[in-house]
């Protein structure tokens, strides 16, 4: 339990405060903690009763960083292939996506979750990942279904934060389901 608790705390910390860590930063942090752990073993802090806390603190920091790094690499938004990471570098001309949830009938159309599989820039189509919440406004002759592939050209917009202090934070709710953007698509 002494080692699982800091590991879980690292995961929870990343869940509430996600921040992209590069491979170099993660490697540097682990190297620093491992060097401190090695120094504490060499100086025998764990054998002197009044200095055992130093070894324990370094071990807890190591497992906290392990949990933080593990959770950080699982955050979909930080992946190089995520479509949000392509929006700033090049102008995007189009998106290909697949409906990954059953479309829910709404007043003026359908609501569904899509997985962006490809993006198009000036060089052509590139594979991509990432989810978006989509509002589809179909023509009278078509009805979307689970697994349908769609093509759209409008950039998805970010989910607005709550306008009131005590209001439900829908942006945070979607973020924890790895959904970062909204799009309105006419099919």
pLDDT of residue 78: 72
Longest dimension (CA), the chain: 79
- What would the two tokens of residue 17 be? 């405060």
Query: Does the pLDDT at position 129 exceed 80?
Result: yes
The structure's pTM equals 0.66
Say whether pLDDT at 21 is over 70: yes
What span, in angstroms and rounded, lies between the C-alpha atoms of 161 and 168?
Answer: 9
What span, in angstroms and rounded, lies between the C-alpha atoms of 71 and 87?
24
Query: Where is average pLDDT lowest: 122-126, 157-161, 162-166?
Result: 157-161
């Amino acid at each position: 339990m002494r080692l699982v608790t800091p590991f879980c705390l690292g995961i929870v910390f990343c869940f509430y405060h996600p921040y992209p860590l590069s491979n170099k930063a993660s490697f540097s942090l682990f190297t620093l903690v491992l060097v401190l752990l090695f120094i504490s073993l060499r100086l025998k802090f764990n054998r002197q009763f009044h200095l055992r806390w130093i070894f324990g603190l370094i071990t807890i920091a190591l497992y906290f960083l392990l949990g933080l790094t593990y959770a950080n690499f699982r955050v979909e938004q930080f992946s190089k292939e995520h479509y949000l990471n392509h929006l700033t570098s090049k102008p995007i001309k189009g998106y290909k996506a697949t409906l990954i949830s059953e479309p829910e009938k709404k007043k003026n159309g359908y609501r569904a979750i899509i997985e962006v599989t490809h993006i198009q820039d000036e060089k052509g189509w590139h594979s991509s990942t990432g989810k978006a919440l989509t509002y589809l406004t179909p023509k009278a002759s078509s009805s979307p279904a689970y697994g349908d592939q769609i093509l759209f050209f409008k950039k998805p917009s970010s989910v607005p934060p709550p306008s009131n202090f005590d209001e439900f934070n829908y942006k945070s709710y979607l973020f924890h389901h790895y959904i970062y953007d909204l799009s309105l698509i006419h099919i």
